[in-house]
Amino acid sequence: MKKLMLAFGLLIASLTATGANMSNGADNFYTSDKVTTQKVTFKNQYQMNVVGNLFVPQNVDTKARNPAIIVGHPMGAVKEQSANLYAQKLAEQGFVTLAIDLSFWGESEGLPRNAVAPEMYTESFNAAVDFLGTRSFVDRGRIGVLGICGSGSFAISAAKVDPRLKAIATVSMYDMGTVTRSGLGKGQSLEQRKAMLAAAAEQRYVEFSGGATRWVNYLPLQLPADADAIRREFYDYYRTPRGQAIPEGRTLELTQNRPISSEAKFVNFYPFDDIETISPRPMLFITGSEAHSREFSEDAYKRAGQPKELFIVPGAGHVDLYDRVNLIPFGKLTEFFKTNLK
């Protein structure tokens, strides 16, 4: 079997050297002995392969039709980062779950790699519904979706156009459109946005002419001494054995990295517009009380129609809810999906 995570074998050995914070039950690479796992590949509407890990409870009746949940990974991550953990924990509660790689990421198709393509990310979720809804052991009338970080906004985007998604939950959600246009806390000015767009546009000439890709490079291999708290929070997950995962054929430096020439496409992404039209399908927004991204869950909750719930995890930061099982409210998620996919 091919190894997707080349650095996984060093997880324990290099833990002390990297200083990864494994407190509060950090367990990104959790493996359940209560579910069966199958790598699956299916086509999206554009005939591109989407790859996922299908988790089925060992005690499930495969001759019956069961509820299912699609799980999407954080922006720039892969299914082995957070999505697999959530999918397995929910499968242990009786759900068929599918952790997917968004198009252009992980094992899913799409060139160039790491491209920003919000419509295609949304389509990855819609295609996952196609796949699950055609399995003999899945009830196509009981399919839900869970989006983590950026995938929260893509899951909402998918649900707005796909009524087959019957229950929608997000964790540590990022509105990738707003944060690109205006920054966290609306801290980016219009002039700064225009400068970013101008740089991206000029870079297109470079790449069109055969020049090298220029990367956002928010998380270099060596953390800058002046890095702020948010950058350090992401670094501790993506650049240490705590959450580090390297897709085959890639390098650590290119994980969690995006070309500036396509990053600009997020400026045209408005996932919360018309979010109220998802109603009466239920929505659950989970965020940490200390999360720098809390504003996005609160904004989505304010705009959404009923029924809806905003659940705030005391003491939790944004990345804490990626993998810290002592903080992640799996019970709340189980209750939400059992109630709304019954």
Contact 258, 196 (CB under 8 A): no
Give the model's confidence band at 18: pLDDT under 50 very low, under 70 low, under 90 confident, else very high.
Answer: low
Kindly list the structural domains of the chain, giving each domain's residue range(s) and its CATH number in brackets, ordered by start: 8-175+217-257+271-340 (3.40.50.1820)
Half-sphere exposure of 288 (CA within 13 A, CB side): 21
Could you read off the pLDDT of 250-294 as tens digits, one per residue?
899 889 999 999 999 999 999 999 999 999 999 999 999 999 999
**Tokens linked to 327:** 């903080």
**Residue keyed to tokens 């220029």:** 214
Strand partners, 167: 144
Looking at per-residue pLDDT, the higher value among 265 and 2 belongs to: 265
**According to the model, what pLDDT value does residue 248 have?**
87
Q: What is the pTM of this model?
A: 0.94
User: Which letter, b or e, does each residue of 235-257 get, where b requires 16 or more Cβ atoms within 10 Å of its Cβ?
Assistant: bbbbbbbbbbbbbeebebebbbb
User: To the nearest whole percent, how much of the chain has pLDDT over 90?
Assistant: 93
**Distance of alpha carbon 320 from alpha carbon 92, whole angstroms:** 21
Could you read off the pLDDT of 221-230 as tens digits, one per residue?
999 999 999 9
**Tokens linked to 63:** 């001759």
**Distance of alpha carbon 114 from alpha carbon 293, whole angstroms:** 22
Average pLDDT over residues 156-176: 98
DSSP symbol at 79: T
> Virtual CA dihedral for 193, 257, 319, 336, nearest 10 degrees?
90
Contact 51, 107 (CB under 8 A): yes
